């Protein structure tokens, strides 16, 4: 971790000392606030102390720590992938540009506190007895848990001249086409705004989305949301590649969160890419992919391995013995998933994957409603997800066992630079 930004460090406090250890505890704050003191000043000091740049990812094994909120890029993209996810897409209800900007500033302030492991609100969780609490409280006593909150702006925000953003829609923020096999549910697709909450503790991620929904009451409404119980991708090559609900390692060759050259080439929007406000940002494609796992589970092992182009146990590509050996694509069947998704098959198209497994109970037929909530970041959707998905949707032998049932695309603004900055400033000013 880099040192605290001197500009943002304020006068010391008990909370500051705690936060500088990296493991800010809501519990410590609470024990203190329980005495009835106003927490405002102390909370502000504690927050400031953790405002380090997020350019360097946290080391593994730092589960309770806070990930710096401020930085050139938003955290939650190159950040080592946390264990759990709560993702929400919002419809904007207000028609007032000023009200939307005010909300984005309030959201930023709340995100700054929550990612530091602190409750929302200037006065701690509580506020006055006669008013609703500033924070709903279910994360009091829990650690920061590497919470990251990442905002995105959907195509609808730029529609017509709804918020005076005419002409500011990035050319690369294209509406996704209907791919072969898509069976999209409108109630699980789209959205004017999205927030991705990742944390090692799901209660911390759920709490964060709930606070933002509450702060936005009357101005925005949750359109859809998705809980992810297990990550399926890693941006940390020295960690074990997680397995998806089909039991396979997928995404072994994901972009590393520390590979600056690859991130600049494939993930971050560059200064010459055509939308200045988005420089340092990215594009997010979210797809809810239902897996027909009961059918998959009755498929022979050899067939499963042929479909992926990897063996199930080790995850090694066909003909190789180790997961991370370079795949020899021609050894695989032409319709193998690894072969079709590989950059060499797609003119170099490369995306950063950050998906999660989901299980949302049971459908009406007694089958688990389970699968992959696919999240991919890229510099240009037209050169990332779209060419890869065109190829997969047409040819992938996995298609017999999966179905895309939700879809959304968002422009992801650059990072919040400091305590005076806010989500969307480069777009709205």
In the region spanning residues 348 to 367, those forming contacts with a second copy, defined by CB under 8 A, are 357, 359-362, 364, 366-367
Instruction: For the segment 98-127, give every residue that binds a second copy (CB under 8 A).
Output: 125-127
Question: What does the DSSP 8-state code read for residue 82?
Answer: P
Instruction: For the segment 199-218, give every residue that binds a second copy (CB under 8 A).
Output: 201-203, 206, 210, 213-214, 217
Q: How far apart are the first and last CA of the chain?
A: 32
Q: Phi, psi at residue 203, to the nearest 5°?
A: -65, -35
Q: Does 219 bind a second copy (CB under 8 A)?
A: no
Instruction: For the segment 287-306, give every residue that binds a second copy (CB under 8 A).
Output: 293-294, 296-302, 304-305
Residue with smaller CB distance to a second copy, 230 or 237: 230
Q: Does 261 bind a second copy (CB under 8 A)?
A: no
Question: CB 319 → a second copy: shortest distance, Å?
Answer: 15
Residue 291 region by backbone torsions, left for phi larger than 0, else alpha for psi between -120 and 50, else beta: beta
Question: CB 306 → a second copy: shortest distance, Å?
Answer: 10
Residue with smaller CB distance to a second copy, 86 or 146: 86
- Give Cα 125 to chain centroid, integer Å: 26
Instruction: For the segment 177-196, give every residue that binds a second copy (CB under 8 A).
Output: 187
Q: Does 61 bind a second copy (CB under 8 A)?
A: no
Tokens 């999240």 belong to: 375
The angle formed by the CA atoms of residues 329, 335 and 339, to the nearest 5 degrees, is 30
Q: Does 96 bind a second copy (CB under 8 A)?
A: no
x-or-dash pattern for a second copy, window 230-249, by CB under 8 A?
Answer: x---------x--xxxxxx-
DSSP string, 242-308: PB-TTS-B--TTPPPTT-HHHHHHHTSPPTTSS-GGGTT-EEEEEEEEEE-HHHHTTS-HHHHHHHH
Residue with smaller CB distance to a second copy, 5 or 306: 306
Question: CB 264 → a second copy: shortest distance, Å?
Answer: 32
Q: Does 227 bind a second copy (CB under 8 A)?
A: yes
Beta pairing, strands 84-92 & 193-199: antiparallel
Q: Does 141 bind a second copy (CB under 8 A)?
A: yes
**Is-contact 118 132, C-beta < 8 A?**
no
Residue with smaller CB distance to a second copy, 118 or 370: 370
Distance of alpha carbon 245 from alpha carbon 49, whole angstroms: 40
Q: Does 62 bind a second copy (CB under 8 A)?
A: no
Q: Following CA atoms 396, 399, 400, 404 in sequence, which dihedral angle do they give, to the nearest 10 degrees? A: 180
Instruction: For the segment 320-349, give every residue that binds a second copy (CB under 8 A).
Output: none
Question: CB 142 → a second copy: shortest distance, Å?
Answer: 8
Tokens 């589960």 belong to: 63
In the set 97, 219, 312, 320, which binds a second copy (CB under 8 A)? 312
Q: Does 78 bind a second copy (CB under 8 A)?
A: no
Residue with smaller CB distance to a second copy, 133 or 181: 133
Q: Phi, psi at residue 335, to the nearest 5°?
A: -100, 15
Q: Does 131 bind a second copy (CB under 8 A)?
A: yes
């Amino acid at each position: 971790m880099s040192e605290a930004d001197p500009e943002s460090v304020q006068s010391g406090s008990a909370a500051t000392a705690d936060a500088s250890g990296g493991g800010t505890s809501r519990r410590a704050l609470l024990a203190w606030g329980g005495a009835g003191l106003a927490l405002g000043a102390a909370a502000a000091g504690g927050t400031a102390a953790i405002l380090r740049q997020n350019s360097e990812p946290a080391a593994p094994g730092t589960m309770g720590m806070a990930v710096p909120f401020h930085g050139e890029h938003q955290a939650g993209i190159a950040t080592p992938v946390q264990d759990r996810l709560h993702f929400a897409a919002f419809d904007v209800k207000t028609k007032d540009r000023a009200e939307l900007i005010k909300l984005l500033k309030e959201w930023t302030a709340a995100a700054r506190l929550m990612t530091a492991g602190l409750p929302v609100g200037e006065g701690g969780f509580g506020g006055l007895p006669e008013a609703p609490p500033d924070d709903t409280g279910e994360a009091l006593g829990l650690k920061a848990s590497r919470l990251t909150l990442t905002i995105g702006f959907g195509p609808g925000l730029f529609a017509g001249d709804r918020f005076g953003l005419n002409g500011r829609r990035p050319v690369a923020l294209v509406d996704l086409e209907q791919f072969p096999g898509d069976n999209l549910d409108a109630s699980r697709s789209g959205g004017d705004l999205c927030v991705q909450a990742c944390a090692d503790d799901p209660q911390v991620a759920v709490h964060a989305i709930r606070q933002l929904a509450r702060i936005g009451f009357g101005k925005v409404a949750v359109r859809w949301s998705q809980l992810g119980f297990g990550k399926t991708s890693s941006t940390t090559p020295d960690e074990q590649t997680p397995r998806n609900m089909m039991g396979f390692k997928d995404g072994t060759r994901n972009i590393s969160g520390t590979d600056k050259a690859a991130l600049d080439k494939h993930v971050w929007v560059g200064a010459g890419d055509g939308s200045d406000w988005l420089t340092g940002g990215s594009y997010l494609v979210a797809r809810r992919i239902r897996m027909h796992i009961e059918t998959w589970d009755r498929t022979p092992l050899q067939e499963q391995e042929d479909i992926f182009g990897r063996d199930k146990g080790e995850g090694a590509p066909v003909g190789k013995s180790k997961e991370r050996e370079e795949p020899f694509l021609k050894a695989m069947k032409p319709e193998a998933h690894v072969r079709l998704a590989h950059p060499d098959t797609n003119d170099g198209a490369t995306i950063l994957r950050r998906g999660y497994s989901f299980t949302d109970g049971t459908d009406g037929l007694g089958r688990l409603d389970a699968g992959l909530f696919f999240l991919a970041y890229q510099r240009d959707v037209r050169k990332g997800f779209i060419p890869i998905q065109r190829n997969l949707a047409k040819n992938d032998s996995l298609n017999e066992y999966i179905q895309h049932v939700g879809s959304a695309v968002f422009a992801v603004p650059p990072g919040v630079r400091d305590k005076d900055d806010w989500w969307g400033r480069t777009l709205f000013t």
